[in-house]
Structure 1
Amino acid sequence: MSQIVQHRPLGKTGYSVSEIGLGCWQLGGDWGALQAGQAESVLQAASDNGVTFWDTADVYGGGESERIIGEFNKTHPETDRIIVTKAGRTPEQYPDGYSRDRLKAAIEASRERLQVEQLDMVQLHCIPINEIKRGDVFEWLAEFKQAGLIRQFGASVETCDDARYCLENTDVASLQLIVNLLRQDMAESILPLAHQKEVGVIVRLGLASGLLSGKMTADHEFAKEDHRNFNQNGDAFFVGETFAGLPYKTGVALAHELKSLVPDGMTLAQMSLRWLLDQQGVSSVITGASRPEQIADNAAVSALPSLDNELHTQLSHFYHDRVRQHIRGEI
């Protein structure tokens, strides 16, 4: 196994996780149909490149992502692999059908698909903030932890206010946040607080749904089932989950502008991921990939040097001067 990916503690969980992780939404076919063996080749590439932190959810492909991971993990076990799943968005629960029994049933189903006796971690999957504030769901998760169904629990959230509430009022061990060069508010206001409270931070959308790959064009057409097609304007779920809340063509143009700040020897994607790894409080940046070579490229960022202070200042100014005004929805 390659050792190029360094590890970091996931808050106070006791887990050591690869600082570049693998997001597994695409393995369920939700970004477009996969060819035979494609998902397995992605997981094998993650294993080969030292990417040991994998993130999935029970609703990705209706459980297909978990099933594929469970089968691969059974036949290719690794002692340092941490598999995190998410719960709370199944039709039986979301948006107002939450109960102890329904959440337990969802966790039991994830255990079965992932083929484990105990889940490494369950995160609430962007459930309504009123349900978070009611608090019952955290009591249920604490009970399931005590009973040995799960080892740790956390929450995936959408906005700074949601994240701050969880940090100040709940016992979450981790938070999963939307942070990237085109959406920096979480980095400025939430990461320092999470670091202070020793809550692990898992970053999603680090490349802004691919905008920060630097390879997208304004006329690109996405597959019908790809959220980058049907959720560009927040028609299906929170608008910030797709292109960081930016109108697609605006995002493409801004990503093109950012290329002028990329250091020699780096790509825009590498600079974007390195910027995230430079943020105090970040435990792992999960990156989606549909091809093995994408895994290797992302993993290599772990070995790159930190960006210099001047560039960090320039990137902050770029966000506030050029980007933030275009973001739609709550930040």
Structure 2
Amino acid sequence: MIAHDLAARHLCRGILAHPLGLHCEVSAGQDASAGPTNISGFLDGLHRAVEHVEHGAIFLDTADSYGCGHSERMIGRFVRDHQDLPLYLSSKVGRVRGSAPHPFAGRHIHHQFEQSLENLYAEQLDLYTLETFDFGPADRYLGNAIDSVRTLRELESIKAIGMRGPHADYTSSPGEWEKQAERFLYLFRLIKPDVVWTRFNAFTPAVLLDGEDLFSFTARHGVGLVLAAPLAHGVLTGSRAGSSPSHRPASQGLARLTPPLTKRISEGLQALRDNFGSAPGTLTRLALRSCLQRGDNCVVVVGFSNEEQVEENYSCLGPALTEQELGLVDEIYVHLRGGLQELQEDSVRCVAEEVHV
């Protein structure tokens, strides 16, 4: 159990943040198709989260690739109007190539960084994350990427260097996840990050890193964790949306909510209600608490698209779950992961049958 529960946590040197922050992703397409109402809802959500009485968000997570900088600009608009707020700004680089041969080639990281600063109306970023494991053929641009972010840290343009955790589709095979873990360990030893940014929720398979789970591994190395997608894009709250606020599929696996998988998820969520009650926000609380109580080096960033979602996320947290309650939640979540694994196995079996027809 975490000693101070929802008190501010040391994510890494220079970042002392409330444990529940915001994953800020809004696409340029939203702006074009939905008009100012959608942007207004996003900004209202930011206001509500930052101003929440008890555990207001001060850690805002985004990336230059979210809406091709649109998300950064929306946060920048908010920061410009609230320069007195003690906010931590986190962005990422590695998916926007522009006219460069690769997102990590030459001075492209520095160009993207300067643009992110301008977008965010900031003079410094608290966390800057290398967003992908793709560093070009034979890792051609890996050395350049490492040198670039280390230089930014030495110049105090950023406080901390981040990298992605092991990542694959939820329905990927154990072998594929093992390859991701090996790739992560290789890059981790070279990059030597201050923080690892990773997607984590009930559907994330248990991945071992040198014989440890991600939480023990990062804690042993003195590295912070940013956990994203704690609600599995609404699936764990009982919503069948299966999409992020930008209306992109949350993942290939969760986007394909087949009847058997939907039934398995419904059974699991009902089991949670049977044990913890059906009050509004209960499923959200369990999903968030399951992440928040993993370790005191973790900050959880939760997505949103309007003020109502933010209010539920921040008002439902309640007291910490006991070890027994956490164990029960984990047991039910393991059942949900089993459903995804069965989906993957069925998919492989169907492909095999088609090949032999």
1:20 is matched with 20
Other structure's SS at 2:67 match? helix
> Where does 1:72-87 land on structure 2 (aligned, <5 Å)?
72-87=78-93
Residue 96 to residue 283, structure 1, CA distance change in 2 (3 Å): same
Other structure's SS at 2:69 match? helix
Quick check: 1:177–1:186 contact (8 Å CA) kept in 2?
no
Q: Does 1:99 align with 2:100?
A: no
Distance in 1 between the 2:282 and 2:152 partners?
44
**Structure 1 residue runs of 4 or more that deviate by more than 4 Å after TM superposition:** 27-32, 243-246
1:234 is matched with none
Counterpart of 2:186 (choices 165, 174, 181) is: 165
Distance in 1 between the 2:253 and 2:223 partners?
23
Counterpart residue identity of residue 42, structure 1: G
Q: Which has the larger radius of gyration?
A: 2
Residue 320 to residue 244, structure 1, CA distance change in 2 (3 Å): closer
Deviation at 1:295, TM superposition (A): 0.9
Q: Does 1:45 align with 2:48?
A: yes
Deviation at 1:37, TM superposition (A): 1.7
> Where does 1:156-305 land on structure 2 (aligned, <5 Å)?
156-157=164-165, 158-159=167-168, 160-161=180-181, 162-186=183-207, 189-216=213-240, 226-228=247-249, 242=251, 247-249=256-258, 251-262=261-272, 263-264=276-277, 265=279, 267-280=282-295, 283-305=298-320
Deviation at 1:95, TM superposition (A): 8.1
Other structure's SS at 1:248 match? coil
TM-score (normalizing by structure 1): 0.81
Distance in 1 between the 2:317 and 2:283 partners?
15
Quick check: 1:38–1:290 contact (8 Å CA) kept in 2?
yes
Counterpart residue identity of residue 266, structure 2: H
Counterpart residue identity of residue 170, structure 1: I
Quick check: 1:167–1:193 contact (8 Å CA) kept in 2?
no
CA displacement 1:186-209 (0-9 Å, x = unmatched): 597222101111211111111112
Counterpart residue identity of residue 248, structure 1: L
Other structure's SS at 2:68 match? helix
Deviation at 1:92, TM superposition (A): 2.6
Quick check: 1:5–1:51 contact (8 Å CA) kept in 2?
no
Residue 201 to residue 54, structure 1, CA distance change in 2 (3 Å): same
Deviation at 1:114, TM superposition (A): 0.9
Distance in 2 between the 1:109 and 1:279 partners?
34
Q: Structure 1 vs Structure 2: percent identity of aligned residues? A: 21
Residue 190 to residue 101, structure 1, CA distance change in 2 (3 Å): same
Distance in 2 between the 1:183 and 1:244 partners?
11
Deviation at 1:100, TM superposition (A): 3.4
Quick check: 1:5–1:303 contact (8 Å CA) kept in 2?
no
Distance in 2 between the 1:143 and 1:128 partners?
20
Deviation at 1:53, TM superposition (A): 1.0
Quick check: 1:155–1:175 contact (8 Å CA) kept in 2?
yes
How well do the aligned residues superpose, as a CA RMSD in angstroms? 3.2
Unaligned 5+ runs, structure 2? 169-179, 348-357
Distance in 1 between the 2:239 and 2:333 partners?
22
Distance in 2 between the 1:68 and 1:313 partners?
36
Distance in 2 between the 1:152 and 1:169 partners?
15
Deviation at 1:304, TM superposition (A): 2.9
Unaligned 5+ runs, structure 1? 229-240
1:232 is matched with none
CA displacement 1:42-86 (0-9 Å, x = unmatched): 110111220111101112122111111112112113443111011
